[in-house]
Structure 1
C-alpha cells in the first residue's frame, strides 16, 4: 500500500507570486510610513520624493525588497544625526531616520505589514 501525493502546481505558483507581491507592497507601506512620519531631511524634496523608491526582485529562491534612496547626500545625512536638520518641511527630520523601524518603536511594522499583505495576496 503506497501513498500518492499530488502537488497543485497552480496553487504553488500563486503562493510564489503572492510572496513576491507582498514583499513589494510591504516596502511600499514602509516608504509611505517613513514619509508620513516626516523623518527624512527635506529641503526641496528631491531626496524623499524623487530619489527614494522600492526595489523588489527575485534571485533564484530568494526574494529581495529594499527601500532605496539614491543621490550624493543620503549616506552622509543618514549617518550624521548631529547635523542640525531644518524642520520646516519635515518636522521630525533627523539622521538615522529608519531606526524607529529597525529597532525602535516601529520595529514590528515590516513584519506585521508583510503578514497582512501575504494573507490578502494569497487569500489565506
Structure 2
C-alpha cells in the first residue's frame, strides 16, 4: 500500500503566528508583573522595590527584574520576617510560584490567550 501525501504550509499564517508570539511575550511579562503586584508578595516598605520592576522581552526570552540594591538580598532570604502591613503576603522568592509552582500554568495560559488575541484570527 502506498500513501501519497502533499503538505502545503501557509506561510502567511505562519508569519502571523510568529508576529503574534513576538507581541504576546512582552504583554505576558507585563501581565505577570501586574499579577505579582496584585498578589502583594513583594516586600514593601516605601514601594521602591515594587516600582523598580522592569520587563524586557527579546530573542524569545522574557525577563522581569527588580532593580534596587536590596532586591537580591530580600529575594534570596525567604527566612526574613517581612513586614506585612503594606503587602500582607510579603515574602522572599516571590517569583518562584511562576517558575516552579502553581502560577507556572497561569503564565503559559496567559501567553496562549495573548498569542490567540494577536494572531489575527489564525488561532481559533
TM-score with structure 2 setting the length: 0.83
Aligned to 2:118: 121
Q: Structure 1, unaligned stretches of length 5 or more?
A: none
CA-atom RMSD, angstroms? 1.8
* Runs of 4 or more consecutive aligned structure 1 residues displaced over 3 Å after TM superposition: 3-8, 10-13
Contact 2:53 2:64 in 1 (8 A): yes
Q: How far is the alpha carbon of 1:70 from its aligned partner?
A: 1.1
SS state at 1:40 partner:
coil
Paired residues in the alignment total 116
In the superposition, relative to structure 1, how do residues 78 and 4 fare at CA in structure 2: closer, same or farther (>3 Å)? Answer: closer
Q: Distance in 1 between matches of 2:99 and 2:8?
A: 42
> Pairwise mapping of residues 51-90 of structure 1 onto structure 2 (< 5 A)?
51-58=52-59, 63-90=60-87
Aligned to 1:42: 44
Aligned to 1:22: 24
TM-score with structure 1 setting the length: 0.83
Moved more, 18-27 or 99-108: 99-108
